[in-house]
Structure formats: C-alpha cells, structure tokens
Amino acid sequence: MDYRTRSGDTMSGIAERFGISLSALEAANPQIPNPDLIFPNELIHVPGAAAPGPGPEPVPPAVMTYVVRAGDTMASIAAAHSLTLAALEAANPQVTNPNLIHPGDVLNLVGGNGEIKPSVSSAAALSIGAVTYARYQGGGSIDGWITAACHALGVPAARWLPGYVTLCGRESSLAPNAINRHDLNAHGPLQSDGYPLHCSRGVAQCIPDTFAAYHEARTSTDIYDPVANIAASMRYVMARYGVAPDGSNLIARVQQADITRKPHGY
C-alpha cells in the first residue's frame, strides 16, 4: 500500500507502525535519497502492507498544496485561498515561525473543518483518480515545453532550461510518451493506458502520485502532456530538494539535472 507522510513522520516510525523492517521500507522507496530527511505529503510505498497499522492512514484522495513564492506571507496566502490565518497555521505545524516562510516552502491548504479547499492560485493538486492517460500527440520541443512550464508556474526559465534539458534527456530521452515498466514503482492496478498505476510516465518521468500532488493548475491533467509533466516535476523538486523558484540552485540540488555529474534518479 501507499502512505502519504505527515508532519513528524520518520521512516523508522512508519516502518514500526506498519510492522516491517526499516531496511525493507528504505529499499522500497529508492526515490528518497536521504531516509533521515522526509517531508510532509511525500508518498511512501509500504511493501507487503494491505492495511495501515495503528496511527497511519492510507493516502488521502487529494492533498492540496501551495508552493510559497517571493513576497508571500502566511496572511496573504490565507486570504487568497479563503482561509483564516489560524486555519492555515494549524494545517502547517511544520512551520515553526509563521512570520518566516521562504520561497519554495510547501504549505497545506486545509480549512478549519478539515476539508481541502480548491486553490485559486497556481497550486492545484489533483486526486490521483483525476489524472488522465491519453498519449501526447502534439508537437513542440523540449526547450519550448520547459519554457511553457516555467510560464505556467510564473518563474523565469533561463536557469531551469539547461538543467531540465539534461534531466529529461536522462529520464526519458526527451520522449513525452515514455513509460518505465521495470523499476520499483511499476505496480498497482492497470490504468487506461494499459500500464500499472505507479509507473513513471512522461518526459520528466513523474509517477501519477507525484503528478497529482504537484499538479499545476494552468496545465493539462494528462500525465503525458510534456508541459504538465515538467511543471509538476519542477514543483516537486522545489518542495523535495529546496530548489529556488528561479532555478538558480537546481543543478547543485538535483544531480540528475547536472550534466557534469553521473545520472542519479530524483
């Protein structure tokens, strides 16, 4: 089964609650480069678990998040999403000082009644069931897709371009309809494209779980759409690796985007 992490979770704590060894949990999640550093809303695969043990709950149908941008405050984000400041703060216990947030931080957008609010910003997570799987038939180039993704996110493209050309080249050979049927993510029920749910797909090789959680509202819900795939991947690396919105530290933070270093999954 899959489990989405919450504030305060650790890999050892998740392993203990689900009754598996830490080494088995780490082996089932090679996408996590540092098991001592996990974040809220990450998707963890729990091998051999048919149901959660005491404490953890299964993956929620949707997790609405917002990636903090330069100039944002907790108060302004709350107002933009029709939330009270108190509700936003309560939904984000990982923010120890609400007066100090940084570009690239990921905030949960949950109302005081526990209901996920629809976002009116660029952040628009999907339920995993809302992801579609129509193969991409359009044209374009990798530079154009990356630039369009940056435009949708409202970030400058110059420093994202070289890194994402490298990353996508390594992940998919720049093929929008690429699919990985052989890694540890390749499990789950078959989807409309004929492949298991959790297979990595698209030009940036997002798994549907990541694509759904980090979906950009101004892009397609189709995982094979290259602009949507890249935009979700960019939001993910900002949240997971602390990449700045302008991409200035992308190559330093994400080895797969650095042409001078050997390939390394992200």
Residues 22, 97: one domain? no
Same-domain status, 102 and 203? no
Q: Is residue 53 assigned to a domain?
A: no
Whether residue 167 is found in the same domain as residue 196: yes
Pair (119, 158) in one structural domain: no
On whether residue 262 sits in a domain, the answer given is no
Q: Per-residue b/e over 32-53, b at no fewer than 16 CB within 10 Å?
A: beeeeebebbbbbbbeebeeee
Give the number of C-alpha atoms closer than 13 A to the C-alpha of residue 169, restricted to the C-beta side.
14
**Taking Cα atoms as reference points, which of 80, 62, 63 lies closest to residue 71?**
80
Which residues lie closer than 8 Å to 43 by C-beta, 6 or more apart?
2, 3, 4, 5, 59, 207, 209, 210, 213
**264 in any annotated domain:** no
Domain boundary among 107, 123, 139: 123
The helix or strand, by DSSP H or E, that contains position 146, with its residue range, turns out to be helix 142-153
Residues 169 and 241 in one domain: yes
- Closest by alpha carbon to 81, among 55, 49, 120? 120
**CATH, residue 112:** 3.10.350.10
Q: Are 62 and 127 in contact (CB under 8 A)?
A: yes
Do 108 and 226 share a domain, yes or no? no
pTM: 0.57
Residue 19: count other Cβ atoms within 10 Å of its Cβ.
Answer: 10
101 and 144 in a single domain? The answer is no
H-run or E-run covering 2: strand 2-4
Identify the domain containing residue 17 by its residue range. Answer: 2-45
**Which of 101, 123, 145 represents a domain boundary (last residue)?**
123
For residues 152 and 236, membership in a common domain is answered with: yes
Q: What is the distance between the alpha carbons of residues 257 and 137, in angstroms, rounded to a whole number?
A: 26
- Contact 106/68 with Cβ under 8 angstroms? yes
Element (H, E) at 239: helix 226-241
User: Do 198 and 184 fall within a single domain?
Assistant: yes
Q: How many domains are there within the chain?
A: 3
- Give the model's pLDDT for residue 225: 93
pLDDT of amino acid 142: 94
- The answer to whether residues 29 and 84 belong to one domain is no
pLDDT of 7: 62
- Each residue's pLDDT expressed in tens, for the chain with a length of 266 residues: 777 677 678 888 888 888 899 999 888 887 777 788 776 656 788 887 544 444 444 444 334 566 677 778 888 877 776 678 887 887 777 788 888 888 767 777 653 333 333 332 334 678 888 899 999 988 889 999 999 899 888 899 999 999 999 999 999 999 999 999 887 778 888 999 999 998 999 999 999 989 998 998 888 889 999 999 999 999 999 988 999 999 999 999 999 999 999 998 88
**The residue type at 24:** A
